[in-house]
Structure 1
Amino acid sequence: MKSFKADYVFPVYADPIKNGIVTVDDAGKIISVTDSNSPPQGAKHIETLSGIICPGFVNTHCHTELSHLKDKIKTGGGLVSFIKDTQAFRNSDRQLVDEAIEKADQEMYDNGIVAVGDISNTNHSIAVKAKSKLYYHTFVETFGFLPQNAEDVFNKAVALMAEFKPQSVSITPHAPYSVSKELFKLIRKHSENGQNLISIHNQECEDENKFYRYKLGGFLDLYDHFGIDISYFKPQARNSVQSIIPLLTNKQDVLLVHNTCTNLKDIYFIKRFDRKVSFCFCPNANVYIEGKMPKIELFVDQGFNLTLGTDSLASNDKLCIMSEIRAIQKKFPALSLTRLLEWGTINGARFLGIDDEKGSLNAGKTPGLNLITGLDGLKLTPESKVRKLI
C-alpha cells in the first residue's frame, strides 16, 4: 500500500477533504480516502505533499493524429482558414506522424490524463493506442456534405472502425457543415442498436451559424476552395445545432464539442429534445483559432453533463486538462475549482462510459492520482502545475 496526504483531497464524489489521505494498492486501486484524524490502518508510511490530490483527468476531445501539426498553423485566423491549413499540412511523412502521435500520448500521460476521446480519420493511431497506458475511445469521423456520397463515406467509416477493433470505437459525424442530412441518417440508423458514442464539432465560429441561417459567410469560400458544389443546400433559417439535433439518435450519448458560438436559445432548443447531450469545452483551442471562448456561464446548472478537452496540437500548445481548467477559471472566476475538476474527471468518465473505474476516488476504482500545486487557497494561479502521482 501507498498513502498520500495533501492539504486537500478532492474525491469528486464528495466534498474536498482538508488534510486528506488517499491510500492505494500496488495496482493503483483506491483502498480508502480519509482525513488525518482517521489514518488508514496498516499504512507504514504516509507521504505528505503540498497541494491538492485529485483523480486522473479525462480528455473527451483530442486529435492525436494531428500532433505533427504543432506550431504549423497560425493563430487567430478563424476556423475556415484553420480548416484549409490543416488539410494543406496534414499529409506529412508517415514516420513523423507516428512519432508525433506517440509523443502526444506520452505528453497526456505525463500531464495526468488517464482517458481520451480521440478523433480519427485514418488508422495511424491504432498501434500507439494498443500499447498506451491511457484508455482510448476512438471516434471514426465522417466527412461528406454531398448527399450522393453519403453511402460511400459511411461504408469507408465502417471499414476503418473494423481496423480499430477490439479497441473501443464508434462512428461519428464531423460537424453540421461537413455532413449531409443523408449521412446523418445513416449514422443514426447505425446507432439504433448497440453502442455508438457520438462526438460532433459544434458552432466553432459565427460563420457556421450564418451558413445555416442564410447560406452566407466564410463557408461558401471553403466549399469553393475544396471544389464542393452546394447548390442543393437551402438555408435553414436557424442555427446549425438547431438544424441537426432532430437528426441525432436518442439511443446514444452525444458530445457537442467547442460550442464557441452557442447561445441561450440554442441551449433551450436542445433541452426540448429527448437527446442524451453532453457539452465539451476546449478553451485554449478556441482562443487559438477564433480568439474567443464559449459563453460557458450559459451552460452551468442547465442539467447537462459538462466535460473538457484539449483539441489537437494543431490548435493548442499542449495537451493538458489542467491548462484548460486554468484558462476557464481565469475567464470565469466565479466557477469553483471543485466544479471544474468535476468537468475534467468524473463528467468525462461518465460520457465515455468508464465511470466505474475512472473519474473519482471511490474505493475499488483505479482512477489515477494527480497532485496540483502552486495554488492560492483553492484557486489556480499561473504557477499551478500538475504532477502525476500514480
Structure 2
Amino acid sequence: MKHFRADYVYPVYADPIKNGIVSVDDNGKILAISDDPSSIQSGNIEQLNGILCPGFVNTHCHLELSHLKDKIKAGDGLVEFIKAILTIRKEAQYNDDQVTEAARLADQEMYDNGIVAVGDIANTGITVDIKKNSKLYYHTFVETFSFLPERAQAVFDSAVELIEKFKPLSVSLTPHAPYTVSKELFKLIKRYSDSGKNLISIHNQECEDENKFYRYKLGAFNDLYDFLGLDIDYFKPQARNSLQSIIPLLTSNQEILLVHNTCTNLKDIYFIKRFDRHINWCFCPNANLYIEKRLPKINLFLDQGFNITLGTDSLASNNKLCILSEMRVIQQKFPTIGLEQLIQWGTLNGAEFLGIDKDKGSLQPGKTPGLNLITGLDNLKITPETKVKRLI
C-alpha cells in the first residue's frame, strides 16, 4: 500500500480536496481518498508539492504517423498538410520498421506523460502488436476514405477486414472527414453502426476551406481533388457548412466524437441540437496551431450540454504527445477556463466517451485510473514551468 499527499487532490467526480491523501495498492487500485492523516493505519505518507489527478485520456491520436515528426512544414494549412502526408506515403520514404519503431516510442512517450488511455486512428494494421503489448488502453478507430460513390462498398469492406486484425482490442469503424467520405459510404457506416457497438470519431471543420467547399464547391479542396486525380463533378454545393451537411448521415445509436472543430460556429452548434445525435467534442489545440495557425472558439462550446474531451493529434502535427501541453495552450488563450474543468476534459470526459469510466477517469476506490502529479502551478494556473509526473 502507498499513500500520496499533495496540496490538492482532484478526484474529478467530486470537488478538489485540500491536503488530500490518495491511497493505492501495488496494482494501482485506488483504496481510499482522505484529508485526514490519522486515518492511515499503516505505511508512510509521501508528501508531494503540487496536485494529484487521475491519468489522462487522449481521445484523438494517430500513432502510425509518429515517424513524421518534424517532417511536415507547419502553418501551410490543412490541404497542404494532407498533400505532404500523401506524398510521403506514395514515395514510400519510410519502411515498416521505421514506422513501427516511431510508433513504439510515441506509445512510451504517452505513458511517460501520464496518459492511460488513447482513442487512436488507424489506416493500416501496423500498430496492432504495439497496442496489444502496451501499458495503455487503446480504442482503435479504423478510418475510411472514399469521396467517390462507386468506391464506397470496396472501401467499407476493406475497413471491416482491418477491424479483425485489431480484435480482441477495442475497435470500431469510422469516417475520416466530410471531404473524404461520400454519402454512399456514410450510409454504409451508419447501417453498420446502427446494428451494434461502434464508436465514431470524425475530423470536423479543420479549416475554412472545408465549409467553403460544402457551401459553394469553392476553395482549396478542389485543388486537393485535382492532386488526387479525382473527378468530383457529381458533388453539388450543399449551401450549408460541412457539419450541418453530414449530421443527418450519422448514426443516432452511437457516441460520436467531432475532432478539431477549428471553424465550427455557433450556428453549427445550434444546428446539431436539432438532431438526436450523441455528440462529443475533442480539441487538439497544438495541432490546430501547427496546421492552421488558429484555435477553435472554445468558449462557444461551454455550457452547451456537450461532453468535451482533449486529444494530441499526431506527431506529424505536434511536437509532443502530452495532454498537459494541450491544457496549457487552452488556458493561455482562454484564461477563464479553470484547471478543474481542464482536468475533467482530459480525464473523466474522455473515459466516458471511450466507455471506460468504470475503471478510468476519476480517483474513486476500486478504480485503476493511474495517478499523476502536476507541479509548477501558479495559484492553480498552468504556467510554462508546469510539469506532469506519472506516479502509478
- The TM-score bracket by the shorter chain reads over 0.9
Deviation at 1:193, TM superposition (A): 1.7
Task: Please tell me the residue identity of whatever aligns with 1:273.
Answer: F
Q: Summarize deviations over 1:194-235 as a string: whole Å, max 9, x none.
A: 210000000000000000000000000000000011000000
Aligned residue in 1 for 2:229: 227
User: What is the CA–CA distance in structure 1 between the aligned matches of 2:227 and 2:31, rounded to whole Å?
Assistant: 57
User: What is the CA–CA distance in structure 2 between the aligned matches of 1:38 and 1:386, rounded to whole Å?
Assistant: 25
User: What is the CA–CA distance in structure 2 between the aligned matches of 1:195 and 1:355, rounded to whole Å?
Assistant: 16
Aligned residue in 1 for 2:60: 61
Q: Summarize deviations over 1:167-218 as a string: whole Å, max 9, x none.
A: 1000000000000000000000001122100000000000000000000000
User: What is the CA–CA distance in structure 1 between the aligned matches of 2:167 and 2:341, rounded to whole Å?
Assistant: 35
Percent identity, please: 71
Task: Please tell me the residue identity of whatever aligns with 2:139.
Answer: H
Q: Summarize deviations over 1:97-132 as a string: whole Å, max 9, x none.
A: 000010000000000000000000000000000000
User: What is the CA–CA distance in structure 2 between the aligned matches of 1:94 and 1:191, rounded to whole Å?
Assistant: 31
Aligned residue in 1 for 2:5: 5
Q: Summarize deviations over 1:52-98 as a string: whole Å, max 9, x none.
A: 10000000000000000000000000000000001112442111000
SS in 2 for 1:382: coil
SS in 2 for 1:233: coil
Aligned residue in 2 for 1:377: 379
SS in 2 for 1:256: strand
User: What is the CA–CA distance in structure 1 between the aligned matches of 2:55 and 2:87, rounded to whole Å?
Assistant: 35
Aligned residue in 2 for 1:331: 333
Task: Please tell me the residue identity of whatever aligns with 2:137.
Answer: Y
Tell me if structure 2 keeps the 8 A contact 1:21–1:39: no
Counterparts of residues 337-376 of structure 1 (less than 5 Å): 337-376=339-378
SS in 2 for 1:74: coil
User: What is the CA–CA distance in structure 2 between the aligned matches of 1:333 and 1:308, rounded to whole Å?
Assistant: 17
Deviation at 1:39, TM superposition (A): 4.1
Task: Please tell me the residue identity of whatever aligns with 2:224.
Answer: L
User: What is the CA–CA distance in structure 2 between the aligned matches of 1:84 and 1:208, rounded to whole Å?
Assistant: 15
Q: Summarize deviations over 1:151-178 as a string: whole Å, max 9, x none.
A: 0000000000011111100000000000
Q: Does 2:135 match 1:133?
A: yes
Counterparts of residues 105-124 of structure 1 (less than 5 Å): 105-124=107-126
Aligned residue in 1 for 2:25: 25
Aligned residue in 2 for 1:71: 70
Tell me if structure 2 keeps the 8 A contact 1:3–1:43: no
Q: Does 2:45 match 1:46?
A: yes
Q: Unmatched 5+ residue regions in structure 2?
A: none
Tell me if structure 2 keeps the 8 A contact 1:307–1:347: yes
Counterparts of residues 294-309 of structure 1 (less than 5 Å): 294-309=296-311
Counterparts of residues 88-107 of structure 1 (less than 5 Å): 88-90=87-89, 91=92, 92-107=94-109
Q: 1:119 to 1:39 in 2, by over 3 A?
A: farther
- Normalising by structure 2, we get a TM-score of 0.98
